[in-house]
């Protein structure tokens, strides 16, 4: 079924023709933790302003659909799961795991209406998260370093709710020169700000990476120790990045961050910390540090930034050497969005040709 065949019920705030929105369509986005989606309980959520229902069939397979019944527009998330089917709460139509209506209780013997299918999105589960794409992703979900490595302890934190744009949130995550000012006493010192944040950015295998730079942190990790640490940043997609913080000769503390673009001005920030030391640090210490750094301090400043959406024209902002990652990130998003816009324009031309040919 063509996209046009589905009802346009978009209630999101984001301009869907904008370059930043288009840059996110073909990406994978974390939307929920896998453990939250139980076999008998549909989960409603929003991604890029689109209402979605997640549900798990009794055989364990997960689905992500537009939260809309093709019959009379009831939200399917109010329905229930029965025998590997999602049942609409209004007139009881039953949809199989492919989104096809397979049963209409009022007319069990009738041929099903041709428009009775649900719009299905791509969905996978990895690293304990549910990932959804509204478009056609060209690659697998972004990697999470050392996920399968037992010598690295993994700790989840978040999601923190930001009333801010997802790319503003990720831009902040990859910006080290705010540490002394926003995270004084933790990730930096306001009275002795770091002056050596100089690095190169390279783009390789569809990722942005920095070379190493060094900063001094009074509360470098959950142990609460003052250290000079080495940082590398890796940006894996417009909404996923991680930092590799070297805290000792062979000690690494990775912070992996995924920002869910719920809508133009709403984001969920999910973290996974992995580290090859400090296996005895109480989890509460890790959580409380991240809750202050991300849930309070970063949230405070990012929610206050204007404009809400990240500027993609470099001439709209002032830049310095320590902003190299932010500059590369803006260029990258712009390129992705412009490519998507060109692809959509080509697809439209091709579709019109078919209509004219048939007509």
| Binding site residues, ligand FES, CB under 6 A | 69, 71-72, 74, 88, 90-91, 93
Give least dist CB 177 to ligand FES, A.
Answer: 52
**Considering beta carbons, is residue 183 or 324 the nearer one to Fe ion?**
183
The CA–CA distances, whole Å, from 103 to 60, 81, 94, 100, 113 equal 21, 14, 5, 9, 11
The option from ligand FES, Fe ion, none interacting with 194 (CB < 5 to 8 A, set by class) reads: none
The option from ligand FES, Fe ion, none interacting with 298 (CB < 5 to 8 A, set by class) reads: Fe ion
Residue ranges in 253-319 assigned as alpha helix (H): 283-290, 299-304
Give least dist CB 124 to ligand FES, A.
Answer: 27
In terms of Cβ atoms closer than 10 Å to its own Cβ (0-12, 13-18, 19+), residue 244 is buried
Q: How many residues does the chain have?
A: 359
Give least dist CB 171 to Fe ion, A.
Answer: 11
**Considering beta carbons, is residue 72 or 308 the nearer one to ligand FES?**
72
Residues 271 and 284 sit within 8 Å (Cβ to Cβ): no
Give least dist CB 53 to Fe ion, A.
Answer: 33
Largest CA distance in the chain: 77
Q: Give me the residue whose beta carbon is nearest to Fe ion.
A: 298
Q: Is 49 left (phi over 0), alpha (psi -120 to 50) or beta?
A: left
The option from Fe ion, ligand FES, none interacting with 339 (CB < 5 to 8 A, set by class) reads: none
Is 221 a binding residue for Fe ion by CB under 5 A? The answer is no
Q: Which of 50, 194, 221, 298 binds Fe ion (CB under 5 A)?
A: 298
The option from ligand FES, Fe ion, none interacting with 147 (CB < 5 to 8 A, set by class) reads: none
**Considering beta carbons, is residue 6 or 90 the nearer one to ligand FES?**
90
The CA–CA distances, whole Å, from 201 to 174, 285, 338, 339 equal 12, 33, 22, 22
Residue ranges in the chain assigned as alpha helix (H): 19-25, 166-173, 179-182, 283-290, 299-304, 324-358
Which of the stretches 197-205, 249-257, 283-291, 298-306 binds Fe ion when contact is defined by CB under 5 A? Answer: 298-306
The residues that touch Fe ion, with contacts defined as CB under 5 A, are 298
């Amino acid at each position: 079924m063509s996209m046009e065949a589905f009802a346009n019920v978009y209630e999101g705030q984001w301009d869907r023709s904008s370059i930043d929105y288009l840059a996110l369509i073909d990406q994978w986005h974390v939307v929920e933790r896998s453990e939250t989606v139980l076999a008998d309980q549909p989960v409603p959520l929003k991604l890029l302003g689109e209402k979605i229902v997640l549900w798990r069939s009794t055989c364990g397979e997960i689905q992500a659909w537009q939260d809309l019944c093709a019959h009379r527009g009831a939200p399917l998330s109010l329905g229930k799961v029965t025998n590997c089917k999602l049942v609409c709460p209004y007139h009881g139509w039953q949809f199989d795991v492919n989104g096809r209506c397979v049963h209409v209780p009022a007319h069990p013997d009738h041929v099903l209406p041709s428009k009775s299918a649900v719009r299905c999105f791509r969905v996978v589960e990895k690293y304990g998260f549910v990932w959804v794409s509204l478009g056609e992703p060209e690659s697998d979900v972004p990697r999470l370093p050392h996920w399968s490595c037992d010598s690295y302890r993994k700790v989840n934190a978040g999601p923190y709710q930001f009333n801010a744009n997802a790319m503003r949130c990720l831009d902040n995550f990859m910006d080290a020169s705010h540490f002394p000012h926003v995270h004084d006493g933790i990730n930096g010192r306001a009275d002795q700000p770091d002056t050596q944040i100089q690095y190169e950015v390279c783009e390789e295998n569809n990722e942005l990476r920095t070379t190493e730079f060094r900063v001094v942190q009074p509360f470098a990790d959950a142990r609460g120790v003052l250290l000079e640490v080495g940082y590398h940043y890796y940006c894996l997609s417009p909404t996923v990045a991680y930092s590799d913080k070297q805290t000792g000769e062979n000690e690494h503390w990775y912070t992996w961050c995924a920002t869910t673009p719920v809508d133009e001005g709403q984001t969920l920030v999910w973290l996974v910390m992995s580290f090859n030391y400090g296996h005895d640090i109480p989890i509460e210490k890790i959580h409380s540090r991240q809750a202050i750094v991300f849930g309070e301090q970063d949230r405070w400043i990012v929610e206050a930034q204007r404009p809400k959406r990240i500027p993609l024209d470099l001439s709209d902002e002032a830049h310095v050497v320590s902003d190299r990652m932010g500059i590369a990130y803006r260029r990258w998003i712009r390129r992705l969005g412009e490519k998507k816009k060109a692809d959509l324009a080509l697809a439209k031309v091709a579709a019109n040709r078919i209509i004219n040919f048939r007509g």
